[in-house]
Amino acid sequence: MPKVRVAGFSVSLDGFSAGIEQSLNDPLGKRGTEIFQWFFHTNTFRSMHGQQGGTIGGVDDQFAHSAMDNFGAFILGRNMFGPVRGPWPDDLWKGWWGPNPPYHTPTFVLTHHKREPLEMEGGTTFYFVTGGIVEALDLAKKAAGSKDIKIGGGVSTVRQYLQAGLIDSLHLASVPVLLGQGESLLQGLDLHALGFSITDRKSSDYATHLVLEKA
């Protein structure tokens, strides 16, 4: 049975999954990169960007690999796709990731503004969905077939899907960083009442990885 998953999502000790003031220069918000140190050193991350090396097979790389594995479709919030706000002025913005994005499947972008699908290299096609999170999930499920669907982010998108009870599994990387300010992942959400419990936990030098699943 395919699952709707959040994976590879970092959370600071003070509960933030992105910094403040996201911009073209700071896609993860100010100091946002500090919460992804566990990911950057892995072979999985480097391979995604056409680089060699990195740590192979340790705790971080295992979770990094599974955070990108077995997905048949992705869903992204518009801020995760880019810094453009309001109606699309043109088709120039094609995501943060260059001509060959790391998704390699149909990828659904939540937006209030229509735009034609955008076919990229490597199998990624961005579809722009104006009908809301349930419509996007229906489209993603059809596209994914027997594979899982990943809610890729950002924070607001993950929170909306959690609150709607539409997520089956989360992998969070709890990192020893104090962001101080940012976008809180769990504030005001009751994951216990939503049926989640913690089913796996492993620590590395960089993060404590936790898997949360519905009972």
Residues 92 and 25: their CA atoms lie apart, in Å, by 17
Instruction: Give least dist CB 191 to a second copy, A.
Output: 5
Choose between 51 and 197: whose C-beta lies nearer to a second copy: 197
Choose between 5 and 78: whose C-beta lies nearer to a second copy: 5
Instruction: Give least dist CB 203 to a second copy, A.
Output: 4
Residues 152 and 80: their CA atoms lie apart, in Å, by 8
Choose between 105 and 174: whose C-beta lies nearer to a second copy: 174
Positions touching a second copy (CB under 8 A) are 13-15, 172, 174, 176-181, 184, 186-187, 189-193, 196-198, 201, 203, 208, 210, 212
Choose between 36 and 74: whose C-beta lies nearer to a second copy: 36
Q: Classify strands 4-12 and 169-175 as parallel, antiparallel or unpaired.
A: parallel
Choose between 125 and 163: whose C-beta lies nearer to a second copy: 163
CB proximity list for 98: less than 8 A, separation 6 or greater:
none
Report how far apart, in Å, the C-alpha atoms of 157 and of each of 3, 39, 133, 151, 172 are.
17, 21, 8, 8, 15
Are residues 185 and 22 in contact, defined by beta-carbon separation less than 8 angstroms?
no
Choose between 22 and 184: whose C-beta lies nearer to a second copy: 184
**DSSP helix/strand/coil, 75:** strand
Instruction: Give least dist CB 42 to a second copy, A.
Output: 19
Helix axis angle, 155-163 to 133-144, nearest 10°:
90
Instruction: Give least dist CB 165 to a second copy, A.
Output: 14
Residues 32 and 29: their CA atoms lie apart, in Å, by 5
Instruction: Give least dist CB 127 to a second copy, A.
Output: 33
Instruction: Give least dist CB 148 to a second copy, A.
Output: 22
